[in-house]
Amino acid sequence: MSLDSVPIWILFPATLGLVALTLEAGFRLGKRRQLRTGGKSDVSGAMVGATMALLAFMLAFTFNGAAGRHDTRKSLVIEEANAIDKTFLRTSFLAEPYRAGIRGLLKTYVDIRVKAAAGEMDLGKATHESEALQDKMWALTAEAGQKEPASITTGLFIQSLNEVIDLHLKRVTVAIRNRVPPTIWATLYLLMFAGMLMMGTQIGLSGARNVAMEMALALSFSIVLFLVADLDRPQEGVINVSQQAMIELQAKLNSR
């Protein structure tokens, strides 16, 4: 089962609960060993430290990648809005009825992008409809180009439309296809559970327990994992990619 199938708001409490349970299981295991061995610890602090250090490294590596993709998504929104605006302006180079036809399609195209980003439209459906609109715009452009094959201005418009199509593919790739792989998620959770089990065992063997500190530790790791998942899901959670550039473009095009 993919982690994406788990709602973002369930992921955090579920992770926190699992981490807390793993710590508790480790503590109980350590307590039993303490009674059996008379308090002699058979869990090396260096082993626990090495496991937690490896977990911290993996978390930092994964968080850095997710944050980088989040920044890329933000810049692509601005790039796409500029490209669509430029294409809309360059429709002035085209004769009628191509000018009006492509302008209408571009307005619908922007509407779909805004709705998809706001969660008002399924992402798969929005992608399909966007690509259908691209095909219609390209068909009209090809027809206009065939009528004026030597036109420099038509060539400039074609260049702008190509950029819009290319940016669509980039946004789909970064938003849907370039995600944290399931193998990385599995590794993170396995390392976290192993580290928490070992730490709980060491606490049980020591005989000294601080529940508040244990919960703070569980909360810290759960928050970091939640942030990684949040950054990896552009349409969910609290860290969203601003669509202000596209919203402003939508208002601008609808006023024309």
Residue 208: strand, helix, or coil: coil
* Residue 98 confidence (pLDDT): 92
Residue numbers of the domain that contains 243: 8-34+44-254
2 part of a folded domain = no
* Residue 41 confidence (pLDDT): 53
* Residue 110 confidence (pLDDT): 96
* Residue 89 confidence (pLDDT): 94
* Residue 30 confidence (pLDDT): 83
Residues 50-61: pLDDT tens digits? 888 899 899 999
Note if the pTM is more than 0.85.
no
Please name the residues in contact with 30: beta carbons below 8 A apart, sequence gap of 6 or more: 43, 200, 201, 202, 203, 204, 205, 206
The answer on pLDDT for 38 being more than 90 is no
81 part of a folded domain = yes
39 part of a folded domain = no
How far is it between the farthest Cα atoms of the chain? 93
Confidence of residue 166 (pLDDT cuts 50, 70, 90): very high
* Residue 2 confidence (pLDDT): 59
Confidence of residue 123 (pLDDT cuts 50, 70, 90): confident
The answer on pLDDT for 179 being more than 90 is no
Q: Are 248 and 114 in contact (CB under 8 A)?
A: no
The answer on pLDDT for 3 being more than 60 is yes
3 part of a folded domain = no
* Mean pLDDT along residues 98-102: 94
The answer on pLDDT for 79 being more than 60 is yes
CA 238 to the chain's CA centroid: 12
57 part of a folded domain = yes
* Residue 246 confidence (pLDDT): 93
* Mean pLDDT along residues 211-215: 86
120 part of a folded domain = yes
* CA-to-CA separations, 115 to 112, 145, 242, in angstroms, rounded: 5, 32, 13
Rg (CA), the chain: 27
135 part of a folded domain = yes
91 part of a folded domain = yes
Counting the structural domains of the chain, the total is 1
